Chains A and B, each alone.
Chain A
């Protein structure tokens, strides 16, 4: 099976990789590019642990073929902080203890960031339903929702 050469912008860096036609973007991120922050929770787009942003749109990277990333922009959890400076959402998640085992955390942060880019002033209901595609088995979600609401308020204040 011949491999496909793909050029994509990943977390702002132009990146080239070779992939099999059947490989998912999640597998390429994890296995070829050492970006293991995106996790495989189900492999069927139901848990959100592999959430990334593809050309501004929140997607499950397990449902995207790697070849589809050609010429597009990919944002993963690894690109969320600027160097050592954490994104406000990351800081608030720590402050609110909005994580336990941490394996759903990258996907939830990516999803929450995408929400706040679309809607800087979401209602709590909007946050709860936006994050309904990201499963968390540990926290019970309350701290996550509070952290997102608090971040949104703070970012609005700073803007």
Chain B
């Protein structure tokens, strides 16, 4: 054997692919239900804000099949599941309802259908209070911020702005986004002896679910086990939002000593769980005749919902990415994480970053239209210069490869010629207008909560030579498990087939971080490698002792080891080592080096490195209806030295399409009463197969290597490509701008639904 199957940097199918295509992959809802399993369902508030005057659940309790109900009074421990310990996130509120759709109680019955029907029987009297649904209304009503705001500043923004030859002020409204994971929330709790409970759940953060369940039950964390084999998509929506379901299932399982499953239907899932934050950004940008930015002043107000949840770090990250790829000599960025009477918004791929990036791109667009230049020229004029320029959070950008990425994409997509052709076509004045845009992304990698940047792994080598791999990350389709297994195959130089990937469980690796912030492979890959290296060093020591050689004479070759002049198969050596009482199991650990962050000062190095990418999109817009289609997209994205190119490409393609959806068809719409009216795929429109760009060329920058010592010099890939979807938004903007001869920035708000596009066209025609 010359090369092991499944080592690092090879294309390899998802480890569950055969099970996926045969319908045999087991998701939480597919786990066989023991006889006696009960089902829970939530009863929700139908008022956006009010005092609970009376909760009459008599009819609920009397409904067929009902075993009982759970309310705030039934919570044995703390009635709080705030992930940041802010104490504002009750399982069930006791006095005040804070959003339309807030869970108020759970009913437990012999079947899901019975529980669901019973939940509708509740008679709840709520005395309404005034409500504020969006950040501007909240500011006007004097609502508090859900968490302390952040300001990033560098230089002297007033002086810089005053000295700039040109200044533009504007406002951009940026919509939120529902995760629309195809598998909704679910938790399935099995009671055990003493205070024990085991919860099977579709959670991106099993350790937090464990701690929350323990907290709510009033028991130590050691009594709670959370297991996650796989999720049917997560995208951030299952980072904190699963905790309520896990807590309810666990409470019911302990109370009735029966297995209890809870799975909301899609509508309840969308109404009752948090989403991407909507933002209203007010920006001012000063620039010179060449389009070089001199100063930026921005205020980012977010719809956080009724509680803090992760809104602090989300709104922080919006500021961290409000520069995108551009150097601002003088800058001040401020967040306003506003409390609103809506569902508590949460993590979603990019974690506030996309909302920051799109404002940077809006400012570029403003400058370009004001100067009558190609936005790409303005982008290039403002790129961070490698090794010198400093971000608004005082981190030096040291690994910038955007010039090369953008240059290569500009050529491969034939941007210049196509832009000319688009302008020429639009000049004919037809009904169909075209637009083309090339936008970059620079995305900081690491949790900004520095302590989250740690991971554990557990590796066993059994005495038959088979290997069990476990780590703290969770699999939601991103291919984390296969990539970490490739690291292990590479370390031991064995075929990947002999490595068993096992479900994530709080029993094997404790105190893990959420599988989030694109960090899964970076952190868990390194932790697994550490475990492998420990076992390998024991094997080397054993080989040296038994053969009388030096460590330098022991080498792991594909499927075997060379020890001095001897070659021995991996299995045979493992057997010998076991017989000689060598410890063949190891717990690995990793913490990201170099990073630090002082939030009070707004200074530090929150990111270990940056990932880069660029996309070029061309669209066609019907100026009579506002409808549009994406004709062609070219992408060049940086994943460092990819651990698994085919898996990484999948992340790039999927991220792009999801980002495009955020900015085009996906519209969250609340009515005046605070009801979410787009609460199922019938009314909330994610991209379809028919929306895929007519031509879609996606490439990885195969020459890139991470400048930092990450796992095999790869880079994180989960979130960065999401922001490539901004190219579509900008291309739409150009098509719209054509109706006024590109003299005015159309200032599209997001999402640019056909309705918004049409309104922008009408507005610009009016001024043309």
Contact = CB atoms under 8 A, between A and B. Distances in A.
B180 A137 contact: yes
A34 B650 CA distance: 31
B681 A132 contact: no
Contacts of B22: 37, 77-78, 80-81, 86, 90
Contacts of B654: 100, 137-140
Contact of A41 (B30, B182, B230): B182
A103 B233 contact: yes
A90 to B, nearest CB: 4
A101 B232 contact: yes
A101 B14 CA distance: 9
Interface string B670-706: 0000000000111000111110100010100000000
Interface stretch (B70-78, B472-480, B510-518): B472-480
Interface residues of B, number: 57
Interface string A87-128: 000100111010111111110010000000000000000011
A138 B650 contact: yes
A38 B690 contact: no
B134 interface: no
B653 A140 contact: yes
A90 B478 CA distance: 19
A103 B32 CA distance: 17
A147 to B, nearest CB: 10
A39 B27 contact: yes
Contacts of A81: 22
Contacts of A106: 20-21, 23
Contacts of A144: 689
Nearest to B235: A137
B233 A140 contact: no
B686 A137 contact: yes
A97 B650 contact: yes
Contact of B692 (A22, A78, A140): A140
A39 B182 contact: yes
A42 B26 CA distance: 19
A140 B477 contact: no
B490 to A, nearest CB: 20
Interface in B155-195: 179-184
A143 B653 contact: yes
B650 A135 contact: no
A140 B182 contact: no
A136 interface: yes
Contact of A101 (B182, B266, B649, B656): B182
B3 to A, nearest CB: 20
A82 to B, nearest CB: 11
A132 to B, nearest CB: 4
Given A101-B230, A102-B16, A46 B681 contact: yes
Interface of B: 11, 13-14, 16-27, 29-30, 32, 113, 179-184, 230-233, 235, 265-266, 476-479, 646-647, 649-650, 653-658, 680-682, 686-690, 692, 696, 698
6 contacts: A39-B183, A86-B18, A99-B14, A136-B182, A143-B650, A143-B653
